[in-house]
């Protein structure tokens, strides 16, 4: 009796078959956790949905099924029927404690599953562009991607982490134009070589803004940027040294961020690596009639499929993002063996782009690509204070946000036994936890109105609240573990008080939650669960003493506290957030 949920579904199905002589599919057996604990641990509206078909009252059906279920109740304390026809199931204390004990047996494996073993998924995320800032939009991307990677892996998926970084294209040309053509910026170039990465990136940012303006102005300066762009694609020796140098600045800078955030990648792809192949594929697609020429460019006419028409090769012969994507896909689908799926974690404004490139790929090779390409279009991030733009100079970079979170975290650490080095570590983990959680709290598809103050909050529904709950639980467990060993514990010997019961009734749900969060790409579901668990645990902790409890009770509380700590640790890990023993 691992997961009860599937067992209960089976039970309801066979009960319906026996008592009503009716066959139901798993999907039709509704089974949910009622909001009100008075209605039990699980509730089914089976009878309500069958009423019309069977021409009986929902209450009568519910009573019939409930009676059949009662005959086989294994881990059910109560099987009740409530109007207008709900069947409410309450789990036994034995089951709850058995499951709690199981957490302590399998430890970090609790919440993991082999259900999706055999699937190979390439998850592509982060993809910042070189020569540009890494702002909170990217931060959301990498935080979501990292969590999704861990969630999928926890379900047995063979997961490949990929990062596709844009190191050629107009944005690079703009930055390099600013660097070479604007004397006030160019003059700082030599100086900045001796400065830290952040200064270098700042300079690139300023250069980009100038290049962007020059391009938008049209005429002479627009032509200059365009010419520079072409030179970069052609690897013209006059620009390559500067391109190589500044590209490396960005890559070093990104590396720093990945390290701080605890992300790593199995494969880095670059636009500079795939554009030639993309160009070749696009030209072949032109020959085979999938793409066509129009106004000097090579385009895909999407009208037949209800899609937009998009350019793959420009009038000047350069590959666009679209053509590059064809080169990328070809690489991605050939390097890692057969892929079950390739998930692109990319900002929502690329929705049209992906619909078109996926369609073209499908037309090129249906066996390879059809139904395997997926765009995970999470929402974008804006500041509560207003829209971000590099022109307005109100871009919030990932590092500046982390640093302001650090400032807040530093003041709060209170464990006096921590050394200076440990304090630094804790500060960093709390800061990263606060920022990451603040981005993962939201449904992924939702646009965020980002509240800077709330994102570095250390209390309430926040990452540090969960980290704190863990540290607090661990602290009391350390004190308990050094105590003399306790009398043998059997579940029959204790009763759960309401606060203990509330905790126990959440513990067993963790594997259900990780499964659902992975299936729905919804780290926020996991976050909500952990927050609820921590709340229930803190309420229990506040009301009942663990150290001063009578032996049997103490054993029970030790079990619950250990299990909660383990689940918070496992759960936060799936969100990409670290825990610490003291804070």
Q: Can residue 129 be called a binding residue for RNA (CB under 7 A)? A: yes
Residue with Cβ nearer RNA (340 or 351) = 351
Site for RNA in 5-44 (CB under 7 A): 30-32, 34-36, 38-40, 43
Among 90, 524, 566, 570, binds RNA (CB under 7 A): 524
Write the interaction track for RNA spanning residues 227-266; mark x where CB under 7 A is met and - where it is not: --x-------------------------------------
Question: Of the ranges 180-188, 279-287, 329-337, 406-414, which one interacts with RNA (CB under 7 A)?
Answer: 406-414
Closer residue to RNA, CB minimum distance, 41 or 99: 41
340, containing H or E segment: none
CB atoms within 10 A of CB 194: 8
- Per CB under 7 A, does 353 bind RNA? yes
Q: Is 317 left (phi over 0), alpha (psi -120 to 50) or beta?
A: left
Residue list 182-221, contact with RNA (CB under 7 A): none
Cα–Cα nearest to 161, from 345, 370, 433: 345
CB of 550: closest distance to RNA in angstroms? 13
582 binds RNA (CB under 7 A): yes
**Residues near 4 by Cβ (< 8 Å), separated by ≥ 6?**
42, 75, 91, 95, 508
Please, which of residues 537-576 interact with RNA by CB under 7 A? 538-539, 541-548
456 and 404 Cβ atoms separated by less than 8 Å: yes
Q: How far is the CB of 78 from RNA (least distance, A)?
A: 12
Given candidates 451, 483, 486, 487, which one binds RNA under the rule CB under 7 A?
451
Query: Among the candidate windows 12-20, 148-156, 301-309, 360-368, which touches RNA by CB under 7 A?
Result: 301-309
Among 95, 208, 437, 442, binds RNA (CB under 7 A): 442
How would you list the strands of the sheet with 267-270, edge to edge? 267-270, 158-165, 120-124, 341-345, 373-376
Positions in 492-521 near RNA (CB under 7 A)? none
Q: Write down the least CB distance from residue 187 to RNA, Å.
A: 27
What is the smallest separation between the CB atom of 107 and RNA, expressed in angstroms? 20
Contact call for residues 452 and 398 (beta carbons, < 8 A) = no
Determine, following the binding rule CB under 7 A, whether residue 171 of this chain makes contact with RNA: yes
Binding-site size for RNA (CB under 7 A) equals: 106
Residues with Cβ within 8 Å of residue 71, at least 6 apart in sequence: none
| For RNA, the closer CB: 61 or 159 | 61
Q: Which of 224, 454, 497, 573 binds RNA (CB under 7 A)?
A: 454
Closest CA to 135 of 390, 379, 434: 390
Angle at 176 between CA 172 and CA 177, to 5 degrees: 115
**Which single residue is written with the structure tokens 């969590």?**
147
Q: Which residue has the tokens 């982060």?
A: 126
Residue among 344, 352, 345 nearest 373 (CA): 344
Residues in 309-338 that interact with RNA by CB under 7 A: 309-311, 314-316, 318, 320-321
Which residue blocks in 373-522 are alpha helix, DSSP H? 398-412, 420-440, 452-455, 463-481, 498-507, 510-519
Q: Verify binding: residue 268, RNA, rule CB under 7 A.
A: no
Minimum gap (Å) between residue 429 Cβ and RNA = 9
Nearer to RNA, 503 or 574 (CB): 503
343 phi, psi to nearest 5 deg: -105, 125
The least CB distance from residue 253 to RNA, in Å, is 17
The answer to the question of residue 170 lying near RNA (CB under 7 A) is yes
What beta strand segments (E) does 167-320 contain?
A: 267-270, 292-294, 297-300, 310-313
- Interaction of residue 443 with RNA, rule CB under 7 A: yes
329 close to 285: Cβ distance less than 8 angstroms: no
**C-alpha atoms less than 13 angstroms from C-alpha of 217 in its C-beta half-sphere:** 14
**Shortest Cβ distance from residue 328 to RNA (Å)?**
11
29 CB-near residues (< 8 Å, 6+ apart): 9, 12, 13, 44, 46
Nearer to RNA, 217 or 543 (CB): 543
Q: Does 51 bind RNA (CB under 7 A)?
A: yes
364 or 439: whose CB is closer to RNA? Answer: 439
Nearest to RNA of 275, 369 (CB atom)? 275
């Amino acid at each position: 009796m691992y997961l009860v949920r599937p067992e209960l579904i089976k039970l309801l199905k066979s009960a319906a078959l026996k008592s009503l002589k009716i066959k139901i599919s798993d999907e039709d057996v509704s089974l949910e956790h009622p909001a009100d604990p008075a209605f039990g641990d699980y509730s089914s509206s089976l009878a309500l949905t069958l009423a019309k078909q069977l021409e009986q009252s929902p209450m009568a059906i519910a009573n019939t099924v409930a009676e059949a279920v009662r005959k086989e109740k294994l881990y059910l304390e109560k099987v009740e029927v409530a109007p207008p026809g709900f069947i409410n199931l309450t789990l036994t204390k034995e089951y709850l404690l058995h499951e709690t004990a199981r957490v302590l047996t399998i430890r970090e494996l609790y919440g993991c599953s082999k259900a999706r073993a055999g699937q190979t998924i390439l998850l592509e995320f982060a993809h910042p562009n070189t020569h540009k800032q890494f702002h909170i939009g990217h931060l959301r991307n990498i935080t979501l991607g990292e969590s999704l990677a861990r969630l999928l892996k926890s379900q047995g998926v063979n997961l490949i982490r990929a990062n596709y970084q844009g190191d050629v294209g107009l944005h690079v040309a703009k930055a390099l134009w600013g660097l070479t053509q604007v004397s006030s910026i160019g003059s700082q170039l030599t100086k900045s070589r001796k400065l830290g990465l952040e200064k270098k990136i700042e300079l690139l940012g300023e250069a980009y803004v100038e290049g962007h303006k020059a391009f938008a102005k049209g005429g002479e300066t627009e032509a200059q940027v365009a010419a520079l762009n072409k030179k970069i694609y052609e690897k013209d020796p006059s620009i390559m040294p500067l391109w190589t140098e500044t590209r490396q600045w960005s890559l070093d800078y990104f590396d720093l961020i990945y390290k701080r955030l605890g992300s790593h990648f199995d494969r880095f792809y670059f636009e500079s690596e795939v554009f030639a192949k993309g160009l070749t594929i696009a030209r072949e697609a032109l020959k085979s009639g999938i793409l066509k020429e129009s106004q000097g460019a090579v385009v895909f006419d999407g009208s037949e499929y209800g899609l937009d028409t998009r350019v793959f090769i420009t009038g000047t012969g350069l590959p666009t993002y679209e053509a590059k994507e064809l080169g990328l896909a070809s690489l991605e689908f050939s390097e890692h063996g057969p892929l079950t799926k390739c998930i692109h974690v990319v900002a929502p404004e690329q929705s049209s782009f992906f619909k078109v490139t996926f369609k073209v790929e499908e037309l090129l090779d249906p066996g390879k690509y059809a139904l395997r390409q997926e765009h995970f279009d999470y929402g974008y991030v804006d500041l509560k204070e207003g829209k971000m733009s590099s022109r307005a100079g109100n871009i919030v970079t990932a590092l500046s946000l982390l640093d302001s979170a650090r400032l807040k975290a530093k003041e709060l650490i209170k464990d006096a036994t921590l050394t200076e080095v440990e304090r630094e570590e804790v500060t960093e983990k709390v800061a990263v936890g606060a920022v990451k959680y603040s981005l993962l709290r939201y449904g992924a598809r939702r646009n965020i109105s980002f509240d800077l103050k709330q994102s570095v909050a250390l209390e309430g529904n926040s990452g540090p609240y969960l980290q704190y709950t863990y540290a607090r639980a661990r602290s009391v467990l350390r004190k308990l573990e050094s105590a003399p060993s306790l009398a043998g514990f059997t579940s029959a010997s204790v009763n759960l008080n309401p606060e203990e019961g509330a905790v126990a009734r959440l513990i067993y749900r963790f594997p259900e939650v990780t499964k659902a969060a992975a299936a729905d790409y919804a780290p926020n579901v996991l976050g909500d669960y952990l927050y609820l668990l921590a709340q229930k645990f803190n309420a229990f902790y506040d009301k009942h003493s663990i150290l001063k409890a009578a032996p049997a009770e103490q054993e029970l509380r030790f079990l619950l506290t250990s299990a909660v700590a383990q689940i918070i640790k496992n759960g936060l890990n799936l969100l990409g957030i670290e825990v610490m023993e003291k804070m």
